[in-house]
Amino acid sequence: MNQVQVFANSRFVFWMAFACAVTTLVTFAIAIMTPPLSGPFCKAGCFQYPYLDIASRFPRDYYWMFPAMISNLFFVALMVGLHYRAEACRRVFSMFALIISSMSALVLIGDYFVQVSVIQPSVLAKESDGVSLLTQFNPHGLFIALEELGYLLMSLAMASIAFALSKASLLERVVRWIFIGQAVLAIVLLVTIAGFMGHAREYVFEVAIISVAWLALIAGAGMLSVVLRRDIPRKAERIQQRQ
């Protein structure tokens, strides 16, 4: 890329990193304030199978899914920018991260879109077929399984992009360790929870992997936005010197 393209890419990656950190933080905050109404963490007013009396929980229990879908798009865009920012010898890692992040976004956005566009209309229309399997209130339903898969893929994407980041600055080195560390922690949690709880784990691992992935993404994308913001004036100065 020429210097103008590098400058434009730096601005793009900065805004994607910043937007990804902010939207993930908003999603996490809303999700924390959304009480679990089924499964092992539910304390009162819990919904039971077949989960056909959940109409009153819309849209309150679905708010967090909207910024989550947007956050996933920003995550993919961030991977695109970081791929073009990476050194040529490291782009195999960034390309793998880009592909895996796209898979993650497809799984998660599809999962959330089904919840807001299919479940509520089906419940209101008394069309109960498939609702029990698909609804987020089923602690071992398809929604939970797809979230586990989606965030495991996101964790893998972050670990892969870590190897494409530069070691030039302290913040980027910290981000590398955050992204690698969260992947290791995700694997440990999966093995531990699955080993001790088996099929009875319900959404325990889902909560764990989401927390790890979101916290790592908030911290990592936030730090990257600082690094990338510093890059913009330097890139602009180089362009002016060449003109």
Spatial CA neighbour of 231 closest among 2, 1, 13, 66: 13
Residue 14: Cβ within 10 Å count: 21
- Between CA 29 and CA 173 the distance in angstroms is 27
> Among residues of the chain, what percentage have pLDDT more than 90?
84
- Between CA 222 and CA 220 the distance in angstroms is 5
156: Cβ–Cβ under 8 A, 6 or more apart, which residues?
Answer: 100, 183
> Among residues of the chain, what percentage have pLDDT more than 70?
92
189-237 tens-digit pLDDT: 999 999 999 999 999 999 999 999 999 999 999 999 999 988 765 554 5
- Confidence band for 243, pLDDT divided at 50, 70 and 90: low
Q: By three-state DSSP, how is residue 112 classified? A: helix
Return the pLDDT at 167: 87
Is the confidence at residue 61, as pLDDT, over 90? yes
Each domain of the chain, given as residue ranges in start order, spans: 3-42+49-242
151-199 tens-digit pLDDT: 999 999 999 999 999 988 899 999 999 999 999 999 999 999 999 999 9
Return the pLDDT at 233: 58
- Between CA 148 and CA 152 the distance in angstroms is 6
Q: What is the DSSP letter of 1?
A: -
